[in-house]
Amino acid sequence: MKLRQEQIVFAVALLIVGGMYVSGSKGPEKSKRPDRGVDKELVRYDAPALLAEAAEEPLTQELFSPPRDSRPLPPLGFVEPPLPDLLALAPPPATGLAPSAFGRLLRTAVQRGTRFDLFDDFDVQGAVPGGLDEDSDFADVEIGDGIDPDQLESEERRQLETLYRQLYDVLELTDFGTTYGRMANEDPYGLRDQARANEPIQFVEVVASSGQDRYPGQPPVTFERARVRDFSLAQTPENEVRQAFHDLPEVASPATWRDMIELAERCVELKYEFDGALDMARELYERVAVFRPEEPEPILGLVRVHEAAFDFEAAFAEAERAVEKFGFRPEPLVALARLERTFLMDDSAEARLREAVRVERGTWVASAALGELLVDTGRYAEAIEHLARAFERLPTDVGVRRQRDRVRGLYATAMLGAGRVTDAAPMFAAMLNADGEDQRGMAGLIACELLGAEIDDSNLPEWAADPSAAAFGPRDLRFEVLVNRGLAAIAERNLEAGLRDLQLARRADPLHEVAALRGLAWLAENAGLVGRSLELTELALETRPGDVWCLLHRGRLLLESEDYEGAEASLRAALEQDAELGDALALLGWLGTLRSRFDEAELYYERAIQLAERAREVRPDLWLRRGINHIQSGAVLEARDALQTALELDPENAIAMGVRAWCEYLLGDAEEAVIRLRQMDDRLRSASDDDPRREWARQQIERITEHLTKVVWIDGFEYSTVGLNNWFANEVAGPTARLADGVLRLEGTFDSSGEVRYYQEISSARFVAFEADLWVSAVTNGRAGIFVARENARGRDERQTLGRVNVARSRDGVAQVLADQSGRPERGWTDLPESVVPFAPDTWHRLRIETDGEGSDATLNVFIDGLPVIENERFSGFGRANNLVLGVFVEGDTGRQADVRLDNVEITKRNQ
């Protein structure tokens, strides 16, 4: 095992101290006679912390190495590898999902396409693409002339007859068979009453295939009852309800009051189907209220009637009367809470519902209502508790089937919202098994499949499982079905179908269009339209300012577009909604890395990883970016540990392998780093040669191996004789070179116009960079600076310049740069803006000239005090098989003064 020099020094010092202690302990015993003098005051003096101060500065060379005038180059800077795009979150389904489950169920990689024309016909107001207007039908049935029933099959004739009976009143005559049309009698619902048994039937006959009157303009035909074998009204909801209302007695009784309640509820449901529905409902509830004053149900029914008629003042009055009279029962409290929720008084409604749950004794109404409120406000975990209680208490008889199905739907939605997808899927499937057209069950099953559950598509109708245009489905699809089916279409890369469904969803329920706008924003990004995605996200946030998904989505897009302030504001707003959003923390961590706030980024990464581990999520991407943050901050050991964890979680992560290799390089083991980088390239051998990850690995190998061939030659002029260390002086113009106080000085008066320089030669094949400190006195009335030149000797004191680079201070005090090469027009000296690149007199300035590459690919960089004044400029003027001259110069006219100083020269060159 190789011992470090610090360990050797420590061991030697320990032996010396130990020897001193042993020799001292074996000395002569001191006199045991007590000291009779005065007690001396002992004073403690702290030793100066010389070693601590010295330890702060790293050694420029190994402690026991022989002195030398060169050193290795400092380590290369870390070049970030081609990282994968930041992980995104797909939109949550319209059925709802708690933000705490976003990362586990929605995290995905974006597949951005190039469908830039997808939104060309897009209407931000929600017009449906593809020519589907609101009057078009998805399953239109044309009943035109020319249908001959005799040419139809028996099943087709039966279906046609069923359709006619739904559209028209039917009269079956003893002599002419079945006739379709409409009854013209007053109150046709009482034609079967005993008192009207002999009343003739007034009938207007129509052509069933077209719906037009058979005898236009003629009065109704009168048919005596003797000719009528049977008759019936059109099978419409209005006729069914009006017939049932007519058949009920005017006074409620023990046998009829429950039927009246059910019919009144049916009337409220059909309030938009025909005029007078609410009037019938009100009358029915009033009849029951007279007969059953001890029951709250008729009063609560009147509340629903007033609410349906938008007479909210009367609705609140009836509800408060019911609470005052029946406050010991949960139903009135639930009714009043429902009204309060209509006016967004959710806090008051929740308090009232919790009171209803408290007084509830074995019933389900209050628990179901509170569970619904909790679902609507996104508190799914608590909602599950109340809805489970309501579902258990609900009776299983047919009379409450509709209520049971509704509570089961809420229960399944709460399960899904809490992220319990595998528990929710069977419940949605049961809803569909009970009613094959239950769109809540359809929406729920599509959502479960989106979130990763295995769903048997045979449970869904073809139009619900297949988002293609050929299987579009019925006209009155629910908002949730349209949104979820649109998201499913995007997941299957059927972007046109997704756009159509999401636009239809916006029109189906404009008040809740934020779910559709989320989907459209996601669709736009998948199409490659990032700007449109941001526009739609902003529109969604105008609709619902605190929407968590929109804030996260906007923050990620702004981060990628380098709008760091906007990204931070959006992500912090998301955290204000839910402080445990791991994805927001991860994005803020990467934002901190990009802004060089490494400590802040580490805190975000640490918290995001804690949340991921608590949720049992495997997040090698977090550990990778955390490792990169550590490298950028200089914490290489911590970076190595983080990257090792990333590789343990994902052994095939080639990027983590490459960054892990860079840690070895920064820790001083360049050979191990190159081996690991070669392993990374080998791991990616199945990828193409121009894969960015492979190119990065090969570039780093080349950088490291080339870097190891370079050294920095140093001259601090800590000697007194001019001309040592291969320096030469050209003093023909007057000023002379001398060494004083560890500084080279060119000073004196020009006795002729020209140039004085102090220089040395180096092979162009070995040259990399020339760097030095330059001090130009205010008395210097000329140009002074450093140079690198390729020259040919044409005589004793005459040289031909084939290529040169100079950086200097002009006679006027302005920084200048020159870069000329043979074969190209001379550009001459270029003045640099003094406000950008100041070059003050009597001040040390650090100048650097460096080249990179070879031949025609060579580039030039020139720096003044770290500021690039020429950057990556093509420059082949130095060649490869030539000697270069480099050093310091000062030029001036006869009689001018010069005082120029040079120090801390560093020449970077390749080893021979």
- The mean-pLDDT minimum among 10-19, 218-227, 603-612, 676-685 falls in 10-19
CB-side neighbour CA atoms (13 Å) of 190: 10
Is pLDDT at 33 greater than 60 in this prediction?
no
Residue 153's Cβ-count burial label (10 Å; 0-12, 13-18, 19+) is exposed
- DSSP codes joined into one string, 805-867: EEEEE-TTS-EEEEEEETTS-----EE--TTTS---TTSEEEEEEEEESSGGG-EEEEEETTE
pLDDT score recorded for residue 247: 86
Domain 81-116+422-543 has CATH 1.10.357: no
Q: pLDDT tens digits, residue range 528-574?
A: 999 999 999 999 999 999 999 999 999 999 999 999 999 999 999 99
Ranges in the chain annotated CATH 1.25.40.10: 328-418, 545-617
pLDDT score recorded for residue 16: 79
- Band (pLDDT 50/70/90 cuts) for residue 791 is confident
Which range, 43-47, 175-179, 454-458, has the best average confidence (pLDDT)? Answer: 175-179
Is pLDDT at 862 greater than 90 in this prediction?
yes
> How far is Cα of residue 100 from the mean position of the Cα atoms in its chain?
15
Ranges in the chain annotated CATH 2.60.120.560: 716-910
Q: Decide which of 2.60.40.10, 3.40.50.450, 1.25.40.10, 1.10.10.10 is the CATH code for 328-418.
A: 1.25.40.10
- Band (pLDDT 50/70/90 cuts) for residue 828 is confident
Helix (H, G, I), strand (E, B) or coil at 47: coil
pLDDT score recorded for residue 699: 93
Domain 716-910 has CATH 2.60.120.560: yes
pLDDT score recorded for residue 815: 94
Percent of the chain surpassing pLDDT 70:
86
Q: pLDDT tens digits, residue range 353-381?
A: 999 988 887 788 899 999 999 999 889 99
Single-letter amino acid, residue 165 = R
Contact present, 646 and 653 (Cβ < 8 Å): yes
Which residues touch 33 (CB under 8 Å, ≥6 apart)?
A: none
Phi, psi angle pair for 907, to nearest 5°: -115, 115
CA-nearest of 559, 558, 555 to 572 is 555
pLDDT score recorded for residue 139: 37
Single-letter amino acid, residue 142 = E
Is pLDDT at 187 greater than 70 in this prediction?
yes
Is pLDDT at 4 greater than 70 in this prediction?
no
Superfamily of domain 545-617: Tetratricopeptide repeat domain (1.25.40.10)
CA-nearest of 864, 871, 878, 876 to 909 is 878
Place of tokens 């980024």: 601
pLDDT score recorded for residue 137: 39
Is pLDDT at 29 greater than 90 in this prediction?
no
For residue 656, the surrounding DSSP H or E stretch is helix 654-666
Q: pLDDT tens digits, residue range 131-156?
A: 444 443 333 434 444 456 666 677 77
Task: State mean pLDDT over 491-504.
Answer: 92
